[in-house]
Amino acid sequence: MEIKIGITDVPREVTLESDESPEDIASKLRETLSQPDGVLTLTDPKGRTILVPTRTIAYLDLGQPNARPVGFGTV
């Protein structure tokens, strides 16, 4: 699933892929927003970790789950 994070005072959004469900990510966000200096931690399928201080999050766009790839190659 594609996740887009809008960050205050930054013109571009941060985009990443995730294998987690939208419900899990929303739950993580709610939990970190309840902390005074919370940090949202997300991991992409390649194992990279993204840390975003919640005080800078303007919005979080949870896209649709990944669709099957189209084409002739095998995955």
The answer to whether 57 and 6 have CB atoms below 8 angstroms apart is yes
- What pTM, to 2 d.p., does this model score? 0.76
Check whether 20 has a pLDDT greater than 60: yes
What per-residue confidence (pLDDT) applies to 63?
A: 81
> Which tokens in the block code for residue 22?
């939208």
Q: Would you state the pLDDT for residue 67?
A: 59
pLDDT digits (tens, 9 = 90+) for 22-70: 899 999 999 999 998 999 999 998 999 999 999 999 999 988 665 556 6
